[in-house]
Structure formats: structure tokens, C-alpha cells
Chains A and B, each alone.
Chain A
């Protein structure tokens, strides 16, 4: 089966004044129809820019090279009507729904605008479809919600409106960019459940972008980890969590505090995450890596296959199984000074 989305050698540079700043370097991955892939990274890793490149929503002046193929079409070459059709079939849901909805228009207008204007769907029919989509994402009394304004809805409700709106164009791929980060945890769980249902019921493929490895693991078959504009590891979500291959993935797994135990000390990663344009030559993670040797700093690392995954570290096979070993034993729920 060929992939629904295929990204190869994608490099993105943004223009900042007279400067070109590289934010993604040679990214490559595939997503099959109905598959969910997690894309995890910290600030500057390039995970949001990857989504923007796929949806063709990069800021003006951005320079893109490489290939993005969606359902056989060359995405980077699309324009006019074809580009509009592409954007309908690739839906994007962002972190802050309030930044993406017109505050002075009713939910009804927002949801049905593209149906009425682009697809010439009559108003009553568009409204009926909008109500059905709201029901699908678990909103009761959709007729009432359609008459309301964005400020009358909570953040979680509004995010469900955004997802329902995305569904109206019958997308085949959903790009979810930190779409639950601003929500309360119970609402987050509910929105995640809705996304998971949609994937199964509609065969909707998903690129789930988040900083939270555990969250990605809960709904995604595979997870890709990015650092400084590059993919450092792609692997089955469970295996990435239990047996990471790249030192950065392992460090991310271990840096998060746990809800089940108090660690005497967290395994913080020294330094700060950098963007592609600030990254040093050689391995970009080397300055923060506890396993780095001189060769890491002088040689670019290639993404190579290892045990059903891909990893960008020439020591991965040697380090395997030892990356999580250095974790201090978690104390059994007792607080240090209790």
C-alpha cells in the first residue's frame, strides 16, 4: 500500500529581515491512510513548521525544498483551485481555537462559510451538516451552539467546534498541532478520545503534534521525535517509550516527572533546546548529550534503520538498552522529607 502522505528531504527556511533561517533540515516520513503518527519535540524542533509546510500555510517568504506528496499530488507545486482542494482534504487544528475564529460571527457562519462559498451548498443543508458534525464530536444541542458566539463557549467546547469544522470538508488527513495543550486535563482526555474515534470511524489519518510523549503514545501507532529541525528517531510509540534508540528520546522520556512516583531528582537535560539555524555542526544534540564523544561533534549523523525504527545516532546500536539504565530508582511514592 502506498502512503497517503509522503514527505522526503523537506527543508524549510524562513525569512527574517535579510536573513534566511533554517527551521527544518531534510525531514522525511510517511503516513498511511487511517494511520496516526505522533510528532514530538520541544520549542524550535520544527514540528509545527512541518505541519505548516504540509498544509501549505508557511509564512510569506519561506523557502521550501524537497518533496511533499499527498494522495499522489505534488503538494509544493499546487496553486489556485487545486491548492484550495488540498487544504480542504488536509485539515489543521491548532492550539488556541480563539485565535482562529472570528469573534463577532456566530458559530454557524464560521462552520458553514467554506461549504457555502466554495462548494455552493445551500444554507439549510450546510447548517444541517454542521449540526451533524457537532454531534459527532460530542456536542449536545448543536442547534443552540450554532446560534452562539465564540465567547459563549468554553475552550474545550470551542476546540471541538474547530475539529467539527475541519470534518465538514471531508478531510483524509488531520494535522493536530498541540490541539489539546491549552485544555484542562479532563477535557484533553475527551478531545483525544474524539480524535481516536474519528480516526477509526472515518479512516482519518492523523499527524499528532505535541510536546508530550505519553499523550502521543496513547493515540499514535508510531511516534517521531524531532530535535533542532531534524528527525532523530521514528519508532512504534510503545517501543520508543520502553526502549528508545536516540539519547534525546531517552532524555525526554526521563526528564518528565511521574504521576506515580516522586524521583529524588529529575533527569534534567543540561542546556536548552535549539532551532535548526542555531544548531552546531555534527550531531545537533551533542552539546547536551551525556554520551557524546568528539566524533559526534565533527560528523553529521544520518538517519539509519535499526530494529524496525529509524535513528540518527551512529552509536545507537551500542548504546541500545543502556539509555534508560542510568535513571535513578524512583522512590516508592514517599516524599523525600515526609
Chain B
């Protein structure tokens, strides 16, 4: 008997005016597993993330996290805080999501103070553990964001998100803006955290190589609709839907030649 999913989404829909941003999305996410939501601009993938954390209200459908419905706005501060504890998010741009006047240690401490009943010494210990987990040293965790590099800031943003001890972490293009060598560091850190804490990830991404590296299952979205859903390895090795095939064929690799995919090829010029 499989355990209940940590996050269950059913028939999720969102409209902005006449525009349907997300249409009839359903998936289950189990403990310690990772799901990718893949798509291009306008696919609705970020709207999905925003609905799950409660930044957008779904037009229809249900979102159940840790056994509790969160499809409607929270009633009261306690409920809102509990939702914040259960599901956290890390955005693409760590410059925009950190307070420039707050050091990492102060930032993490504040989250711990708001969400848990720890004394100052315990909070200090947990802050140190989180810094270790994401690979920031003593000097870095006490530095202001402007004195950190992009990769260090993104690791701080992850530490901040982990401070609530969430069951689900949403990574909204969180490694997209990082340099190649730093992206690999952060992806390894994310894999370690999953192994250590049994946390589940939702990875919102357009980068199929990152999706392959980090996730077990994937949902491919196009213009708000799900076009394919399955195990990541199978989906990338043997894509069924023409759109998934086109996405897969657009990834540069050995022997790859760019093709004018959206239009018929021009006649060869001689």
C-alpha cells in the first residue's frame, strides 16, 4: 500500500481574464521524490508554482499538501503560517528575493523565530546546520547579500526556504541563472538535501538536462495544458507527444544541428 502523496493536485485551473493560464492539471508528489514541470514561456509553469504556494488562487481544482486542502485562501495567521512551513519556494533571481540589509544568519534566524519555538541558542545551532547543508561557511552566512556571489546567494535562498523545515520545496528556475560550474554545485547540494531530509521537490524548468539530473517524474506543459506526463527518463528518451519531441530535439548536444523547427525548412540554397 503506497503512502499518501505529500502533495496532490487535481483538475487545477487558472484564468487571467479570457486567457487560460493553466488547464486541468493533476499530479501526485510523494515523499522524497521530485517532479519537474517543464515548459516554455507562457506554458503556465510558473502559475502552477504560484498557486501551490498560495500566491495565486485557482479558478478550479484542488491542492492538498500534507493531507490538508490549500485551494482556498488561508483563514487566519496560524493557518497561513502552517502552509508556509509545509511548502516553500526558491525563485530564479536571488538578487530580488533577499533583503540587501540583512545578513544570511539574521535572515534565517528570523524565519526560525516566526515558524518555530526555539530559544536563541537552538536557532543559532540550526542556522549553522543549514549553512553547512548548503555549503556556506561562517563568514559567508554572516555576510550581506551584496558581498556574496550569485551562487552563494542562491544557496542562501535555499537555506532560508529550508529553515521552516518544509515537506515540499518548489524550485522555480532556481538554477537557471547560475554559471555552469556553480549550477553543478547547487544541483549536488539539492540532491544531498533530498537524501538527508526526505524532502520533495517541484522543479519548474525549461532546462531538460537539469530536469533529467534532479527529477523522477515530469509534466510537460504547453499553453496551460499538460501534453505529456511520466517518468523523466522515459519521457526524455522516448517522448510521445510531438511537442515533447520538439523540445527534446532543441537541446544542443553532440551531433546536434539546429533546425528551423517552427516552419518548414527553406529549400537548400546552392
Contacts and interface: CB of A to CB of B under 8 A. Distances in A.
A266 B188 contact: yes
Interface stretch (B56-64, B113-121, B257-265): B257-265
A211 B150 CA distance: 15
B106 interface: no
B32 A189 contact: no
A268 B209 contact: no
A193 B32 contact: no
B15 interface: no
A272 B212 contact: no
A215 B209 contact: no
Given A185-B247, A211-B180, A266 B187 contact: yes
Given A138-B260, A184-B40, A268 B32 contact: no
A218 B253 CA distance: 8
Interface stretch (A53-61, A109-117, A255-263, A313-321): A255-263
Interface stretch (B18-26, B166-174, B232-240): B232-240
Given A42-B181, A272-B152, 11 more contacts: A186-B262, A255-B180, A256-B183, A263-B213, A268-B182, A269-B185, A288-B181, A337-B216, A338-B216, A338-B231, A338-B233
B260 to A, nearest CB: 5
Contacts of B40: 184-187
A269 B231 CA distance: 29
Contacts of A218: 252, 256-258
Contacts, number: 149
Interface residues of A, number: 53
A233 B150 CA distance: 26
Contact of A272 (B41, B182, B246, B253): B182
A217 interface: yes
Contacts of B237: 260, 333
A260 B134 CA distance: 27
A268 B257 contact: no
Contacts of B213: 257-258, 262-263, 266
Nearest to A216: B252
B259 A189 contact: yes
Nearest to B175: A257
B1 interface: no
A72 B207 CA distance: 42
17 contacts: A185-B40, A185-B251, A193-B260, A197-B266, A217-B252, A255-B183, A256-B183, A257-B209, A257-B210, A258-B253, A260-B236, A265-B188, A268-B187, A269-B184, A334-B233, A338-B216, A338-B231
Interface residues of B, number: 50
Nearest to B191: A265
A334 B233 CA distance: 7
Interface string A197-215: 1001100000000011011
A187 B216 CA distance: 27
A39 B152 CA distance: 26
B86 to A, nearest CB: 22
B236 to A, nearest CB: 6
A192 B185 CA distance: 29
B258 A186 contact: no
B262 A190 contact: yes
A272 B188 contact: no
Nearest to A254: B184
A188 B181 contact: no
A335 B233 contact: yes
B208 A268 contact: no
Given A185-B251, A259-B236, A190 B258 contact: yes
A32 to B, nearest CB: 21
B138 interface: no
Contacts of A261: 212
A20 interface: no
Interface string A252-289: 10011111111101111110110000000000000010
Contacts of B2: none
Given A257-B212, A265-B188, A42 B252 contact: no
A141 B146 CA distance: 47
Contacts of A272: 149, 151-152, 179, 181-182
Given A186-B247, A196-B258, A260 B253 contact: yes
A215 B41 contact: no
Interface string B217-255: 000000000000001110011000000001111111110
B181 A273 contact: yes
B124 interface: no
Interface string B40-79: 1100000000000000000000000000000000000000
Nearest to A269: B181
A222 interface: no
Contacts of A215: 252
Given A266-B188, A268-B185, A337-B32, A186 B250 contact: yes
Given A43-B179, A184-B40, A186-B40, A219 B258 contact: yes
